[in-house]
Chain A
Amino acid sequence: MSTEPGAEVATMAPHVQSTGAVAGYRPGRTLRLSVELRRQFKRRRTIGVLALMVALPLILIGALQLGGAEEAEENSRVNLVDVATASGLNLTLFVLFATTGFFLVVVFALFFGDTVASEASWGSLRYALATPVPRARLLRQKWLAALVLSVGSLVTVVVVSVIAGGIAFGFGDVVTPVGIALDQGTAVVRLAGMVGYLAVHLLVVGSLAFWLSTVTDAPLAAVGGAVFTTVVFAVLEQVEQLGAVRDWFPTAFNYAWTDLLQTPVDSADLFRGVVQGLAYSAVFTALAFRHFARRDVTS
């Protein structure tokens, strides 16, 4: 602590821009996506989730191979579990089917809900804002980083499923529960569509968590709040008396991606799911930006 930083005497005017900013500062270069991702990847949480995404298909493959084949054959009901071992692509469909309801919801809620609230809880948010990273830009970069991580997780689980499932069960065609086979090329395109649809659909949960993340300083509250809301809607969806109201739930059409297994594809539900998903996401994200722009950061 003996040195004297800044030995040279500052000459004020030359190193300052007309906006008052120091030379070298550009608002558009603050908190670049690569930097934010680097920050996120230094966290064990991120690594842990991605590891889980790799492990999940492997666990399911193990479970499917251990499970008694005789019992499975006795089951007369056809569903995705029964054809899960038909090929790697089939396993992927099963994994998606099994994770759509809850697992992926948690992943999206975690990545989106944790972003701003965790910075607030560490106290690093104020330093980022005083850098200054403009508030809208901070949110935008955080949102994009969360999107990259969430969709990355989704893609990871799909890719690992395809490859590991392919090694375990063969790189064959997709066999749907009703006995239709889709050749690999078609199936991969359809799978890409499913991932795209799920990404858009789960964005609703993500953007809800993101909004909550700007409201609270506790990451757990943001993540938990979004997951809890999803669970509540899932429960309400079981209430038949609500009728068509349920189609307007943020969680509606969460299994519409299975329509992509049909030939020809009936895209009506997919379309509505996408439009509704985008609309809800836009609303929640807008609420997040609005709230954060006006908020006093006291954490």
Chain B
Amino acid sequence: MRPLRGLVRPRPRSGARVTSAVLALCLASSALLALAPSAAAAEVRTEAARVPSGSGADAVELDTTLYLPPGDGPAPAVVLAHGFGGSKQSVASDAQHLAERGYVVLTYSARGFGGSSGQIGLNDPRYEVADLSTLLDLLADRDEVELDGDGDPRVGVAGGSYGGALALLGAAYDERIDAIAPQITWNSLTAALFPSQTGTVDAGTVAATPQDAGAGVYKRLWAGLFFGVGSVPTGGLLDALGGATGGSEDGDEENADSGGGPASADGLILPDLSSLDPAAVEQTLICGRFRADICAAYQTAATTGTLTPEIAAVLDRSSPAGVLDRIEAPTLLIQGTQDSLFGLGQADANARGIAADGTPVKVVWFPGGHDSSASDQVTADLREQVAGWFDFHLRQEGADPGTGFEYPAPTGLGGVGQIQGDSQTVVAGAYPGLDGGDAAARRNIALSGPAQPVVTPAGGTPGALTTVPGLGALTSALGGATLEIPGQFAAFESQPLDAAVEVVGAPTVELAVAAPGGSATLFAKLYDVAPGGGTTLPAGLVAPLALTGISADPARPTTVRATLPGIVHRFEAGHTMRLVVSSTDQAFALPADSAVYSVALAGPAEVAVPQVEGRTGADTGSSRWWVLLGVLVGLGLLGWAVALLWGRHRRRQVSAVEPDGEDVPLRFEGVTKAYKDGFVAVRDLSFEVRRGQVLGLLGPNGAGKTTSLRMLMGLIRPTEGRISIFGHAAGPGAPVLSRLGSFVEGTGLQPHLSGRDNLQLYWAATGRPAADAHMEEAIEVAGLGTALDRPVRRYSQGMRQRVAIAQAMLGLPDLLVLDEPTNGLDPPQIHAMREVLRSYAATGRTVIVSSHLLSEIEQTCSHVVVMAKGQKIAQGTVEEIVGTGGTVLVGLSDDADTDRAIAVLEGLPGVSAGRTDEGLIADLDGYSRAAALQALVGAGIDVDHFTPRRRLEDAFLALVGES
């Protein structure tokens, strides 16, 4: 079967949740399949176009695709912006989805990406944001787009990361935008790339993260990755050198043709290398498609690792932070918990900035982000959230999404790449601390630990390893473990937690730090330590602290307030929180000089963890279990009621009785059993058995005897006719069968039980009172003595037979049916069995015995029914059939005496005799056979034999012989 699986079992495939929801829904409402018909996807039309934007040296052509929804009439529009390194193709499926919902959707490749020309300006308001306004003009000209006013389309903007920032900046700079849904994006690129989470922030929100102005620790791995994506000369190196407008980056064929570069297709046409400006070549090779000022800023940052005013100017221009107060479009902020590039603090700052002026903001955190892609289900949920946001704010349709706060239910799992996929969502009424609301609740957890020296190594190596950007899977491949270098960190631990603590947001802590040079670079993080010693760094996040101007004296350290990374994590009961302050982290630029810092806890020596009251999805999760229980109970009650009614109906049915029932224990009326293959086992069989009779059912093998008995026991249904037992219709489960005892074809004993256990369990199964069983009498019939307590599997055939007959006699049934009862018995046993049956019938009970032996029937039965080939041949008393009372066949020693013998016999009263082919036949007509024989002997006639003439046997044998 399956191999054992490690860690956690694989998540179910996508669609599982949808189907399960549907399943639950069907169960609950039991009626409508509430599946909205998926609007015919084929009806969405697309139009690709190249749109000129900008002027002068910055004029570009944007590669766009317009998705037109089915149906007439103007519809609101949505502009989808792609992420960094993507193109309009990256958002094609989202566009298709929104178009199917009735939106005009415009996707485009930002300048410098995909099939668009130009250089990357990092969402520069002069370029990328202006491009967006150009596109809005374009939408305003389309008849398909609903207008708010002249040249003002009803439009929303959505996008992730790079596109999300564009949505924010666009809403700030262009008032025509009516709603935005930015995802996993930044508030301040400075804070994202040069973070220093120290100081205080004047906000009560859960993930409020301070940013030390003017200093920061360079997030070099992420920045390098970011820059690397944009600096790859797209469309091939030659293409770029040739000054082409840029080719296709993602292999999009539509763009490949429109790229227009001289060597874009096959590279056969080489540019004239001599005509190239060496500076331009160098610029292209180093900066790729970045604008020169951005490229220069990156070069400086990457070389020095410090934040210069020039760099800050470039980054701030691209940040929504300064212009949030201009945003009036309702904003849905979606941020990931697994994001070491743009953490929860970035969304927190955006939410505060936008809500400050009363603009509606909803905040949604989801399990995913730049470090780990969200599960299919979460992705689908988010897509639905965005669509719902636009439905309400652009079309005034659907439920009001409100201005609440949603976050994934905290779990104790936490390393990067260990997202549990489809976790539950917690819903809170509002994002705590936003827009004058109550500040987030914080719980203080005491930490303890002495002041510790922390070494920062020269050159920053070896360094601690927490996260590798975008490669969460790598760290999880290492067992989710992080690497801390001994001597390079200070650790402070809490007591084991009495109860689980759920942390939603960024905890804060106060540290006392001293550094020889007055400045220090530290990384603070909060580990989850299991009782067994296993550690987890929630989401693999660290808080860099760039400290300047601090005390050099370890005896009088400077108190520093640090804000730890925003996380959603559950610290289980019994676990401890461990605050680790380390001097290195490989994801960041580190000081080159070695030093020894002193780190201790300061202030109240507590970590303040934010907590959010919310309604977990578990409420709805448990409610459906109640629904399920209710449905099951309902079905149970329904079934019970139906069974009750049916039982009543059936009791009435079986209570119908024929008036002469007690006198006729068994009656077959025209009974036929035909099988599907056409074989007719019993044909039109009719006979009656009267009380006190011992009826023999005689016939050769295959005559239909056993089939008839099985029908009467209710094992087989007759195709036609009626069988009644004591006047009640016989059939499967007919109560009247309780007056029947049977032994038909095979003993049916359980081989592993003793004979006694068999009998006792059989009787117990009938449910009748033990006293009714007459067990001792039955055991005497079996006559097994001590063998009765041995397992049946050691019995001989005869012994089994006798136990089975005894079982049939349990409870002294009024009608006893025995099929070939004497098979396997020895002659004395056969004799005894005959006695038992005869005396049984003498008590007024009725016995039916089947046999293929005439002698057997003759000696046991009073009446007989003869069957062959499924039909009744003859019926009557044994005397009638066997001829005991009638004629005799007389064999003489000398045939010459025949005439004399006839004379002697005819001389007797009432007797007639005559010569036939068989010999001398005499009809005694009631005259004693003994007296007739005596008369013959007395007359001196030598009699060889004197036997009853068996007419039946002759007929029977003749019939059998024919077959």
Contacts and interface: CB of A to CB of B under 8 A. Distances in A.
Interface of A: 1-10, 12-13, 16-22, 24-32, 35-36, 38-39, 42-44, 76-81, 86, 97-98, 101-102, 105, 122-137, 173, 175, 177-183, 231, 234, 243-244, 246-248, 252-253, 255-256, 258, 262-269, 271-272, 274-276, 278, 293, 296-298
A130 B742 contact: yes
Instruction: Say what secondary structure dominates the interface of chain A.
Output: loop
B738 A25 contact: yes
A252 B12 CA distance: 9
B483 interface: no
Contacts of B814: 10, 12, 22
A30 B766 contact: yes
Given A81-B4, A131-B766, A173 B531 contact: yes
Contact of B715 (A32, A105, A296): A296
B15 to A, nearest CB: 4
A20 B717 contact: no
Counting chain B CB atoms within 10 Å of each CB, which of A25, A78, A244, A267 scores highest? A25
Nearest to B711: A296
Given A255-B9, A298-B716, A19 B844 contact: no
A269 B24 CA distance: 12
B809 A5 contact: yes
A182 to B, nearest CB: 8
Contacts of B531: 173, 175, 181
B783 interface: yes
A129 B715 contact: yes
B412 interface: yes
Interface in B528-548: 528, 530-532, 534-536
Nearest to A17: B735
Contacts of B739: 16, 20-22
Given A1-B783, A264-B424, A271-B625, A234 B2 contact: yes
Given A181-B530, A258-B9, A271-B24, A27 B809 contact: no
A226 B1 CA distance: 14
A30 B765 contact: yes
Nearest to B657: A20
Contact of B423 (A22, A266, A297): A266
A185 to B, nearest CB: 11
Given A21-B736, A123-B748, A38 B618 contact: no
B13 A124 contact: no
Contacts of B662: 12-13
Contacts of B443: none
A25 B766 contact: yes
Interface in B1-59: 1-2, 4-9, 12-17, 19-20, 23-24, 27
11 contacts: A19-B651, A25-B738, A25-B768, A35-B764, A124-B749, A131-B766, A132-B732, A132-B734, A177-B6, A266-B621, A272-B20
Counting chain A CB atoms within 10 Å of each CB, which of B574, B622, B624, B735 scores highest? B735
B530 A20 contact: no
A181 to B, nearest CB: 5
Nearest to A79: B6
Nearest to A18: B655
A34 B319 CA distance: 77
Interface of B: 1-2, 4-9, 12-17, 19-20, 23-24, 27, 409, 411-413, 418, 420, 422-424, 479-480, 500, 528, 530-532, 534-536, 570, 572-575, 616, 618, 621-622, 624-625, 628, 632, 651, 654-655, 657, 661-662, 691, 710, 713-717, 725-728, 732-740, 742, 744-753, 757, 761-762, 764-769, 772, 774, 777-778, 780-781, 783, 807, 809, 811-814, 829, 832-833, 835-836, 839-840, 842-845
Contacts of A7: 843
B761 A24 contact: no
Nearest to A267: B621
A21 B5 CA distance: 58
B628 A180 contact: no
Given A21-B736, A77-B7, A122 B748 contact: yes
A78 B7 contact: yes
Counting chain B CB atoms within 10 Å of each CB, which of A26, A28, A77, A179 scores highest? A179
Contacts of B726: 12, 16, 20
Contact of B765 (A28, A35, A122, A255): A35
Contact of B752 (A24, A44, A79): A44
A269 B532 CA distance: 29
Contacts of A28: 767
A81 B3 CA distance: 12
Given A127-B748, A128-B765, A263-B570, A1 B736 contact: no
Contacts of A3: 777, 780-781
Contacts of B536: 178-179
A122 B749 contact: yes
A19 B735 contact: yes
Contacts of B23: 272, 275-276
Contact of A32 (B412, B749, B767): B767
B621 A179 contact: no
Contact of A42 (B411, B732, B757): B757
A270 B744 CA distance: 50
Nearest to A178: B413
A78 B737 contact: no
A179 B575 CA distance: 9
A140 to B, nearest CB: 10
B655 A20 contact: yes
B529 to A, nearest CB: 9
A172 to B, nearest CB: 9
A183 B496 CA distance: 13
B411 A98 contact: no
B843 A6 contact: yes
Nearest to B805: A1
Given A271-B625, A271-B628, A1 B781 contact: yes
A209 to B, nearest CB: 17
Contacts of B833: 1
Contact of B411 (A128, A182, A255, A262): A262
